[in-house]
Amino acid sequence: MEILLPAFAAKSEKDDAASGFIERADGSGSRVAISWDVDPRPGPVAEKVARAATGLASAEALRTQVAGHEAILLRDMRGATLVWRCEKSGRLFRLASEGPRAPDVARLAKTVHCHADRLQTNGDVPAVAMAALGAPFRFANRGRGTISWMNEDEVMTLFAGQAVPAPRDADAARLAAPEWIAAAGLTDARADGAELAQGPQGHPAIAVHGGASLDGHAVRWTLLFWRCLQRQKTFAAVIFGQKTPDAAPLLAARCHG
C-alpha cells in the first residue's frame, strides 16, 4: 500500500498487510486516514457496503474511480470518504479526509497505489475448534481471506475479520449477505430471511438464510455475522448444502482466545 499523506502529526497506525490503518491529524480539527481489510468478495464495492463500512448512512454518494477501481465517494459536512475494493490485492479500502486544512480526498486518491504488491497473507480467518464441530468435517481449501471445511455435501467457509462495523440489524444483514455468499463460490444468491442468533464463543450474531446455485445445482445456505468485542472485528461464516444445513458447525469458529 502506497499513498502520499500530508505532513500532519502521526495520530495512530497499524502496519498490518491484512487489516491496518494510518491516521494523521494537525491538532486543529483536520485529519486524514486510510484503512484496509482483507476482502474476498468479488466485484466493485456497492454503495450499501460503502455506507456500512463507514457509518455514513445519510452522506451524499457519488460513483468515481481510485487507481482504476470503481469507488464510492461519500461526502457530508465533516468531509469526504472514498471506499473501494482492490481485487488485485484482495482488500477493502477506506480513505477519509476531514477538516479545513485536510487535502481534498480526490487529490489524495491520485497518489494511491493499492495493488503495488500481491497480498501475501490470508487475513484474520478464525480457527476451528474441531471438537465442537460435532460431525466429520475435514479441511477442504484455504483461499484469500477464507478457509473451508467439508462434510459430505456440506461446505462451511469462514471469512477473515474486518474492522468495519457488523450489520446493525436483520434487514442490514440480509442486504449484506449475497456478496459474502458470492465470496463462498456460489451464484444467484438470494436472502430469504434473517434473525438474531447465538454466535461463536457467546457473541451475539445475526443469522441469514437463503438459496443460491453451485454449478447449476440449487443449494441452501445459512450465514452468520458477528462482532468479536475482544478483537474489535466483524466476522462472517457460511455453511451450505443441497438440503437446509444445520448452522451448529458455524459455532465452532474461534475468533479470539
Residue 224 sits in a domain whose CATH number is 3.40.1000
Q: Do 122 and 151 form a contact (C-beta atoms < 8 A)? A: no
* Bridging pattern class, strands 19-25 and 204-214: unpaired
The answer to whether residue 114 sits within a structural domain is no
Q: Do 83 and 70 form a contact (C-beta atoms < 8 A)? A: no
Q: What is the pTM of this model?
A: 0.92
The answer to whether residue 117 sits within a structural domain is no
180 and 246 part of one domain? yes
CA dihedral sign of residues 254, 166, 18, 213: positive
The answer to whether residue 118 sits within a structural domain is no
158 and 60 part of one domain? no
The answer to whether residue 115 sits within a structural domain is no
Cα separation of 149 and 214, whole Å?
16
Domain-ending residue, one of 54, 75, 109: 109
48 and 160 part of one domain? no
104 and 50 part of one domain? yes
Residue 78's φ and ψ, nearest 5 degrees, are -80, -35
Domain-ending residue, one of 49, 82, 109: 109
178 and 134 part of one domain? yes
Number of domains present in the structure of the chain: 2
Full domain range(s) for residue 212: 127-254
Give pLDDT < 50 ranges for the chain: none
